[in-house]
Amino acid sequence: MAKEIVKPATGKLGIMVVGLGAVSTTFMTGVMMARKGLAKPVGSMTQYDKIRIGKGENKKYLHYNEIVSMPSLDDLVFAAWDVFPANAYESAINAEVLKEKDIEPVKDELLKIKPLKAAFDKNYAKRLDGDNVKQCKDRWDMTEQVREDIRNFKKETGVDRVVVLWAASTEIYVEPDMKYHGTIAALEQAMKDNVVDKIAPSMCYAYAALMEDCPFIMGAPNTTVDIPAMWELSEKTQVPIAGKDFKTGQTLVKSGFAPIIGTRMLGLNGWFSTNILGNRDGLVLDEPANFRTKEVSKLSTLESILVADDQPDLYSEYYHKVRINYYPPRNDNKEGWDNIDIFGWMGYPMQIKINFLCRDSILAAPLCLDLCLLMDLAHRAGRYGTQRFLSFFLKSPMHDYTQDEIPVNHLFQQYVMLKNAIREMGGYEADEEID
């Protein structure tokens, strides 16, 4: 097999994060603490996982950076945009995710990360009241200002490459509309015409990133890059995109547990999922229009794993319900309850209860690291368009719905996709079947 040419990960990698809240400050603080040897990047595939290459007597298990060239944690340089002016240190303290003893050793580094003014429209996140926002004539001007931010960051820091990561709140749901989202030309015209109800601020960030040669990752369930215009722009600029929505708590459980039911040929009557969450994300999702965006993302997982057409006796009539409840006392420590009504031999009913008490940002931080490093890798390997191999990290993997493509949500199939992509980019054979 011809070796895929991956440009070496020389120099510094800039990571520009949209949102300087609980997730991003936990991510940044963890990276800074790890490179001082004061913490471990637990949960990160790129730092811990090993992949088999070769078979038989040639078989070896190697870390990702032994298969492909990847930046070290020392090579990462951070910047952020946020609607609130607090620097990364203040924001990390305010988020109350990490203890002060785990923030103080990198205080000086965090203090230097002062958020750039955000491209923001309050109609897309009514519960946020920040004043660190750009004054924009229209959506085109908003996009141009973000592009300038990226150029300035490159110039001021001397980084060699930049990845842009959305780790901000969930926007209200934007239904894909081919009149505005169907082509690059239509999208650009809508930006210039300031069609504010069709062009979300996140679309301005994504467009700006692609035009500035920066891979873009959508970590919320926003429509953003999940439209044909962005797919076309990604192909035209040859810059990769990935999304959407970090797969952290309940959906991680669902994408890993549903295969047990399906593999064991058990039936499903219903799956009820509810969450309580008290951080800024929970506050934003308390708004029905913002919850709708999240609900679409969360509901999509199960239906592609337990498929009625494949097993009508088992999955033709199950009821799937998802709820998120804002509950301030819990802060970032969200709790997910799943009640699963299954049936077995001769139709006899049984139940499964899962209670996952997790920490949202502690689970999301390693995903941020992995997605940024792997998107940079994909870009250096000359890959562009939607990076389906990153579905493992995402709740609602992007797919071409205009061609009725069904996304892969089965966690273990997603893991095969991830491993095969790393193998290919390292010049090895993609030798596992996704079945």
Per residue in 176-221, pLDDT (tens digit) is: 999 999 999 999 999 999 999 999 999 999 999 999 999 999 999 9
Tell me the mean pLDDT in the region 224-247. Answer: 97
Per residue in 101-142, pLDDT (tens digit) is: 999 999 999 999 999 999 999 999 988 889 999 999 999 999
Predicted model pTM: 0.93
CB contact at 8 A, 242 and 215: yes
Of the pLDDT bands very low, low, confident and very high (cuts 50, 70, 90), residue 299 is: low
Per residue in 400-413, pLDDT (tens digit) is: 999 989 899 999 99
13-246+361-425: CATH, from 3.30.70.2740, 3.40.50.720, 3.90.226.10, 3.90.190.20: 3.40.50.720
Percent of all residues in the chain with a pLDDT value above 70, rounded to a whole number:
97
- Say whether pLDDT at 271 is over 70: yes
CB contact at 8 A, 401 and 60: no
Q: Identify whether 244 is preceded by a cis peptide bond (ω within 30 of 0).
A: yes
Cα–Cα distance, 361 to 367 (Å, whole number): 10
Domain with CATH 3.40.50.720 in the chain: 13-246+361-425
Domain 250-357, what fold? Dihydrodipicolinate Reductase; domain 2 (3.30.360)
Give the Å distances, CA to CA, from 168 to 124, 255, 409.
12, 24, 23
Q: Which of 415, 79, 419, 387 is nearest to 215 (CA)?
A: 387
Cα–Cα distance, 22 to 32 (Å, whole number): 15
Tell me the mean pLDDT in the region 402-427. Answer: 94
CB contact at 8 A, 243 and 399: no
CB contact at 8 A, 148 and 211: no
Domain with CATH 3.30.360.10 in the chain: 250-357
Which pLDDT does position 395 carry in this prediction? 92
Cα–Cα distance, 294 to 283 (Å, whole number): 13
